[in-house]
């Protein structure tokens, strides 16, 4: 009983004290007010416009033009929150309405002349302009960017690069004007990444000079075809081509799937893929062909052709080489996905960082103000390395676009390898960053209008389409393997893909790392090159040993996927570092160069800390790994004063960010509620 009385007295005192304390707090508490970070954060130490110019280059004015076109139109859902105007899609609308709005926005952009010359203008500048316009639209809505990408880059790209003059003359201009709406029918229910395995079959009727496209089984139905469910009038159909009973491999054909009134054509069946976790403004569909006849001229014949009397013609006799030549032009999709993922990442980071510079939580001492989120070292560690990595990857993305538009027949391999590596690396980074931003915004990150949570669902598919990321990394490693073996057979130095460092002696790393060592370009380059070099040698050695034991090469590549993926990441990280150094070299000494140096060091240090291969293969000792870990925190504290300037330099207009990044008190006030 004494024990019960004792506990009762303890609880009574606790409740009494708690009540008194709460009363006092309520008497002295003041309401929170929003304070713009521009008032409290230090003035920028560098020219933010110059930094943005490094990100966007000569495209900066065109990007701003595209943003302004969208901001000024009511079609882009202008709304006021907290005294500011924002635009974003209404994701509460039904799927059908979202699709309708996507097409209405495309109609508006067409009227503004955005599509003029997209496909009919020649040269690298025209291609860069297309990338810029599509990716700028994607900042507003991924569905809008994807619909443009399917129509221009995939359908239009197939006509441009797989077709010849007869196709260019007939199809390119109508595609620009949307008289023809195209889709890209490659993926099937049963085959995605393995394009060579698709099951759609096309035969040739010499009597009528027509191709006959057929879906022989349910797994051969075309699946996830963007634009097919509602809008597309024509499709670039990928199919096995059988001539006189011989399978000549995968080829592409132009097939009409709807008439001018929107009715599905005879011998074509179309179904809707239905609601998705994101991208519901895109009408993904499924297509079956029931012996659909098309003219002989509708074969896209840049690599191979069929004569009127049914003879198969190609200068490339080897089927594998012919398939490689056929698919080589189809890299624009990966290029634009990589660039698009950077815009998504910047949008999420700008919103989350601005919020963390105005939102406070907890006091460290009694009677002191609550602390800004970004003044907590743990919050800095969550967001600031992602900012630095985003800059590094954005530089690499811009480099990829330059490589692509300046491509030659000899550089196609480089475009394929680099686009595969960066598409995987940049989209992985995008999704990881959006998840961190969502969590860093707390409950507000779940609200659709604040973007960061919704963006995760909208962009998740980037990891899959245009090639599964893990498969792409294995393709990168295969290509590196082939380059190494080819150079070894010829007893010549390795050239291209940045692999020239393999011709030099292996770098020797310091035994004991220090902060100053970690920040030198020499050490950063050495350890990234050593990692790539060692993993390539390990990969070559393992594959060669298995070959010597009589194993099939494809089986070997399947079984060595772990080291292959490590090598793919090593190649990508080294490439990104090199592009960062190239950009940095163009900047004169001063405050901008200094902050670039901080971000480069943050990028290399965070890669070393987070990638297990540095410890797994012994490039870092456990003691040196501890030094790296401490250096990350030190770099965070040094980047903290630049946080607002760095996200402002992304160049994303306020109207395209989430309201949470601005006056989140006013935007959630009672007066902001629509009362019925």
Annotated binding site for FAD: 187, 226
State how far the Cα of 628 lies from the Cα of 372, in Å rounded to an integer: 26
Which residues, in sequence order, are bridge partners of residue 455? none
For residue 291, count other CB atoms closer than 10 A to its CB: 10
- If residue 422 lies in a helix (H) or strand (E), which one and from where to where? helix 412-440
Q: What angle do CA 661, 640, 589 make, to 5 degrees?
A: 115
State how far the Cα of 333 lies from the Cα of 422, in Å rounded to an integer: 12
State how far the Cα of 472 lies from the Cα of 423, in Å rounded to an integer: 8
Comparing C-alpha atoms, which of 460, 471, 476 is closest to residue 428? 460
Which residues, in sequence order, are bridge partners of residue 271? 286
State how far the Cα of 609 lies from the Cα of 604, in Å rounded to an integer: 9
- E strands, 58-181, are 78-81, 84-87
Residues within the annotated binding site? 187, 226
Q: Helices 469-490 & 412-440, crossing angle to 10 degrees? A: 150
**Which residue reads 């793919």 in tokens?**
568
State how far the Cα of 438 lies from the Cα of 456, in Å rounded to an integer: 9
Comparing C-alpha atoms, which of 344, 348, 327 is closest to residue 336? 344
Measure Cα distances from 290 to 192, 271, 448, 571 in Å.
Answer: 21, 14, 43, 45
State how far the Cα of 560 lies from the Cα of 540, in Å rounded to an integer: 10
Tokens of 192: 């995605």
Catalytic residue among 466, 483, 532, 631: 466
State how far the Cα of 402 lies from the Cα of 405, in Å rounded to an integer: 5
466 in catalytic set: yes
572: left (phi over 0), alpha (psi -120 to 50) or beta: alpha
Q: What is the largest CA-CA distance in the chain?
A: 107
Helices marked H in 142-240: 142-148, 156-162, 165-167, 173-176
Measure Cα distances from 300 to 171, 241, 407 in Å.
Answer: 12, 12, 21
Give backbone dihedrals phi and psi of 372, rounded to 5 degrees, phi first: -60, 140
For residue 205, count other CB atoms closer than 10 A to its CB: 12
Comparing C-alpha atoms, which of 464, 388, 10 is closest to residue 223? 464
**Which residue reads 């994807």 in tokens?**
146
Comparing C-alpha atoms, which of 266, 274, 334, 269 is closest to residue 294? 266
Which residues, in sequence order, are bridge partners of residue 292? 213
**Which residue reads 């110059």 in tokens?**
50
- If residue 293 lies in a helix (H) or strand (E), which one and from where to where? strand 292-295
**Which residue reads 């960062």 in tokens?**
580
Tell me whether residue 183 is exposed, middle or buried, using C-beta atoms within 10 angstroms of its C-beta: 0 to 12, 13 to 18, 19 or more: buried
Per-residue H/E/C for 542-577: HHHHHHHCCCCHHHHHHHCHHHHHHHHHHHHHHHHH
Q: Which residues are catalytic?
A: 466
């Amino acid at each position: 009983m004494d024990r019960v009385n004792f506990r009762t007295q303890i609880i009574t005192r606790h409740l009494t004290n708690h009540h008194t304390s709460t009363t006092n707090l309520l008497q002295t508490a003041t309401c929170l007010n929003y304070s713009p970070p521009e008032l409290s954060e230090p003035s920028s130490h560098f020219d933010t416009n110059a930094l943005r110019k490094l990100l966007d280059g000569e495209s900066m004015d065109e990007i701003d033009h595209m943003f302004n076109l969208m901001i000024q139109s009511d079609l882009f859902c202008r709304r006021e929150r907290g005294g500011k105007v924002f635009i974003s899609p209404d994701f509460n609308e039904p799927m059908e309405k979202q699709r309708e709005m996507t097409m209405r926005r495309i109609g508006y952009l067409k009227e503004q002349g955005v599509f003029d010359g997209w496909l009919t203008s020649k040269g690298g500048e025209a291609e860069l302009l297309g990338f810029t316009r599509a990716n700028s639209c994607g900042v507003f809505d991924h569905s809008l960017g994807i619909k443009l990408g399917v129509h221009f880059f995939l359908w239009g790209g197939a006509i441009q690069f797989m077709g010849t003059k007869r196709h260019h003359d007939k199809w390119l201009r109508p595609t620009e004007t949307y008289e023809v709406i195209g889709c890209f029918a490659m993926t099937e229910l049963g085959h995605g990444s393995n394009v060579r395995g698709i099951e759609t079959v096309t035969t040739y009727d010499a009597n009528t000079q027509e191709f006959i496209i057929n879906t022989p089984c349910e797994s051969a139905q075309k699946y996830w075809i963007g634009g097919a469910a509602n809008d597309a009038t024509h499709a670039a159909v990928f199919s096995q081509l059988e001539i006189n009973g011989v399978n000549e491999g995968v080829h592409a054909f132009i097939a009409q799937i709807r008439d001018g009134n929107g009715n599905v054509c005879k011998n074509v069946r179309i179904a809707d893929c239905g609601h998705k976790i994101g991208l519901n403004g895109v009408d993904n569909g499924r297509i079956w062909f029931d012996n659909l006849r098309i003219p002989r001229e509708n074969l896209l014949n840049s690599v191979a052709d069929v004569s009127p009397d049914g003879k198969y013609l190609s200068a490339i006799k080897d089927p594998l080489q012919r398939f490689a030549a056929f698919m080589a032009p189809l890299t624009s999709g990966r290029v634009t996905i990589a660039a698009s993922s950077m815009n998504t990442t910047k949008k999420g980071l700008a919103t989350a960082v601005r919020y963390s510079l105005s939102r406070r939580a907890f006091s460290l001492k009694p009677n002191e103000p609550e602390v800004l989120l970004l003044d907590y070292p743990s919050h800095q560690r969550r967001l600031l390395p992602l900012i630095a990595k985003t800059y590094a990857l954005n530089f690499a993305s811009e480099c990829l676009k330059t490589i692509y538009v300046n491509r030659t027949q000899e550089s196609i391999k480089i475009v394929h390898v680099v686009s595969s590596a960066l598409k995987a690396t940049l989209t992985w980074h995008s999704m990881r960053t959006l998840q961190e931003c969502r969590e860093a915004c707390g409950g507000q990150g779940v609200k659709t209008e604040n973007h960061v949570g919704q963006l995760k669902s909208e962009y998740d598919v980037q990891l899959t389409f245009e090639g599964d990321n893990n498969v792409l990394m294995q393709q990168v490693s295969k290509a590196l393997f082939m380059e190494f073996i080819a150079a070894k057979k010829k007893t010549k130095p390795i050239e291209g893909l940045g692999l020239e460092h393999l011709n030099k002696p292996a770098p020797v790393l310091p035994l004991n790392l220090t902060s100053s060592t970690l920040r030198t370009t020499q050490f950063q380059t050495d350890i990234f090159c050593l990692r790539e070099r060692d993993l390539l040698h390990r990969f070559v050695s393992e594959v060669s040993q298995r070959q010597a034991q009589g194993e099939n090469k494809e089986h070997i590549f399947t079984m060595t996927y772990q080291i292959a993926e490590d090598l793919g990441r090593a190649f990508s990280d080294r490439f990104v570092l090199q592009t960062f150094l190239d950009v940095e070299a163009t900047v004169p000494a001063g405050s901008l160069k200094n902050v670039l140096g901080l971000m480069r060091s943050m990028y290399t240090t965070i890669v070393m800390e987070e990638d297990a291969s540095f410890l797994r293969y012994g490039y870092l000792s456990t003691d040196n790994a501890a030094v790296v870990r401490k250096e990350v925190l030190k770099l965070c504290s040094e980047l903290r004063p630049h946080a607002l300037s760095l996200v402002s330099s992304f160049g994303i207009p306020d109207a395209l960010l989430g309201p949470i990044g601005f006056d989140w008190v006013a935007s959630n006030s009672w007066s902001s509620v629509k009362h019925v």
